[in-house]
């Protein structure tokens, strides 16, 4: 009699262990308390939390023998355990806090860049900016060109950055060019321009009373890539240019920037003329009113471009006047009419008009 009771208790205990294991093992896996891949039974959990593995596994047999209510209860317990684990790891409050921290960091980044470079024109300040523009140009030979360009800057560090110009849509009308038939035109994407600038710390300097004003030397490279989709829009050459420039502060929060660029062709299509050309880009930015009121944040920035072509021995120049307004920190709009000066070549610019905006991000 005592032996039978002992056997009965043993069987009851064994069945209890099997049943409890069937219910608790998947929950432990779902909670991360047991690695399913290291389990002696080599079990796997699917998205529906159904047990799979060895066909002869006692747990699989127990699951298959269970009645429908027990299966439903089994699945319900597993789903509840999974949801509880997910809630314990990342809550909605944590997600909202993370989003707020990200937004605050972005605002701080934009405000810092805007304080250093209020109009988005200072080449010493490397920040992420989106600066698309529309430009209309007429050459002395009568060619008319319109461009819609994706222009912007990418910050690699406080002292290194990239400037990119991608003519997304370019249209040239050759109707008024001598020797061209009326209605001759071309439309497509133009050549891409990539500039890389570096401001070495060793070449920074200060001047003025108490050293309150500063200046910097800039060094870099310029690449013009022959990416135009139409031959009539392309220079048919890969151009490379070293860049040497200097920027220094002026009174009343202005600055002068002088970038000097010398272009040569690295690769060109057969029949394409050689390139050996100097281009200067000299700016003077002067704020006209303090930011704040509706009439505030105005500035004027003349740009003078001296150009010399060593292949044709031709010199030309160009003067643009940029009028802009800062609508908010890191939000600037501008217009820029420009005129060719003392030009002798038919391909020199006669008149240009540009309009765009700058958006720090």
Q: What is the CATH number of the domain that holds 145?
A: 2.40.160.40
Question: Given a cut of 70, is residue 153 above it in pLDDT?
Answer: yes
Residue 197 CB neighbour total at 10 angstroms? 22
Domain finish residue from 67, 89, 111: 89
Which comes out higher in pLDDT, residue 337 or 88?
337
The verdict on 348 and 227 lying in the same domain is yes
Side-chain half-sphere CA neighbours of 155 within 13 A = 16
pLDDT tens-digit map of 279-306:
999 999 999 999 888 889 999 999 999 9
Q: Is residue 218 part of a domain?
A: yes
pLDDT tens-digit map of 225-284:
999 999 899 889 999 999 999 999 999 999 999 999 999 999 999 989 999 999 999 999
Percentage of the residues of the chain whose pLDDT score is greater than 90:
60
pLDDT tens-digit map of 306-326:
999 999 999 999 999 999 999
Question: Given a cut of 80, is residue 221 above it in pLDDT?
Answer: yes
Domain finish residue from 72, 89, 106: 89
The verdict on 131 and 68 lying in the same domain is no
Q: Mean pLDDT, to the nearest integer, of 8-23? A: 41
Question: Given a cut of 70, is residue 170 above it in pLDDT?
Answer: yes
Picking from 335, 340, 342, the residue whose alpha carbon sits closest to that of residue 351 is 340
The verdict on 132 and 279 lying in the same domain is yes
Ramachandran sector of residue 173 (left: φ over 0; alpha: ψ -120 to 50; beta: rest) = beta
Angle at 142 between CA 139 and CA 144, to 5 degrees: 70
What is the C-alpha separation between 256 and 215, in angstroms, rounded? 9
pLDDT at 2: 45
What is the C-alpha separation between 223 and 281, in angstroms, rounded? 16
The two three-digit tokens of residue 217, written as one number: 């030397």
What is the C-alpha separation between 47 and 112, in angstroms, rounded? 47
8 A C-beta contact, residue 214 and residue 248 = yes
The verdict on 81 and 136 lying in the same domain is no
Q: Is residue 99 part of a domain?
A: no
The two three-digit tokens of residue 185, written as one number: 């035109």
Picking from 229, 232, 226, the residue whose alpha carbon sits closest to that of residue 269 is 226
pLDDT at 319: 98
Question: Given a cut of 80, is residue 59 above it in pLDDT?
Answer: no
Q: Is residue 132 part of a domain?
A: yes
What is the C-alpha separation between 212 and 304, in angstroms, rounded? 27
Domain finish residue from 46, 73, 89: 89
Q: Is residue 13 part of a domain?
A: yes
The verdict on 204 and 344 lying in the same domain is yes
Tell me how long the chain is: 361
The label of the residue with tokens 């401001």 reads: 199
The verdict on 277 and 339 lying in the same domain is yes
| Low-confidence winner among 14-23, 98-107, 215-224 (lowest mean pLDDT) | 14-23
Cβ-based neighbours of 109, under 8 Å, separated by 6 or more: 127, 128
Picking from 215, 243, 241, 212, the residue whose alpha carbon sits closest to that of residue 122 is 215
pLDDT at 5: 46
Q: Mean pLDDT, to the nearest integer, of 336-358? A: 94
| Low-confidence winner among 31-40, 72-81, 227-236, 264-273 (lowest mean pLDDT) | 31-40
The verdict on 37 and 178 lying in the same domain is no
Residue 162: give the domain boundaries.
119-360
Considering its fold, how many domains does the chain have in total? 2
């Amino acid at each position: 009699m005592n032996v039978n009771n002992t056997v009965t208790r043993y069987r009851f205990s064994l069945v209890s262990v099997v049943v409890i294991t069937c219910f608790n093992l998947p929950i432990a896996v779902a909670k991360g308390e047991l690695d399913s891949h290291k389990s002696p039974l080599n079990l796997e959990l699917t998205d529906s939390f159904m047990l799979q593995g060895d066909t002869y596994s006692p747990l699989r047999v127990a699951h298959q023998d269970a009645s429908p209510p027990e299966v439903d209860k089994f699945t319900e317990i597993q789903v509840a355990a999974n949801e509880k684990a997910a809630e314990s790891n990342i809550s909605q409050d944590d997600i909202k806090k993370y989003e707020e921290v990200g937004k605050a960091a972005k605002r701080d980044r934009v405000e810092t860049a805007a304080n250093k470079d209020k109009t988005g024109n200072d080449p010493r300040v490397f920040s992420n900016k989106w600066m698309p523009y529309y430009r209309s140009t007429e050459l002395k030979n009568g060619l008319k060109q319109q461009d819609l360009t994706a222009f912007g800057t990418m910050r690699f560090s406080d002292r290194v950055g990239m400037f990119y110009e991608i003519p997304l849509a370019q249209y040239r009308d050759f109707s008024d060019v001598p020797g061209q038939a009326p209605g001759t035109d071309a439309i497509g994407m133009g050549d891409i321009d990539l500039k890389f600038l570096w401001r070495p710390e060793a070449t920074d300097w200060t001047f003025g009373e108490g050293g309150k004003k500063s200046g910097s030397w800039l060094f870099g490279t310029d690449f013009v890539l022959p990416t135009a989709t139409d031959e009539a829009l392309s220079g048919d050459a890969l151009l490379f240019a070293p860049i040497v420039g200097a920027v220094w502060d002026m009174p009343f929060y202005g600055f002068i920037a002088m970038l000097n660029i010398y272009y040569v062709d690295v690769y060109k299509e057969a029949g394409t003329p050689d390139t050996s050309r100097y281009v200067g880009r000299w700016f003077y930015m002067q704020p006209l009113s303090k930011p704040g009121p509706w009439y505030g944040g105005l500035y004027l920035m003349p740009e003078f471009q001296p150009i010399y072509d060593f292949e044709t021995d031709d010199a030309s120049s160009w003067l643009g006047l940029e009028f802009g307004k800062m609508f908010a920190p890191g939000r600037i709009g501008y217009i820029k009419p420009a005129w060719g000066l003392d030009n002798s070549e038919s391909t020199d610019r006669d008149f240009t008009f540009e309009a765009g905006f700058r958006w720090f991000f």
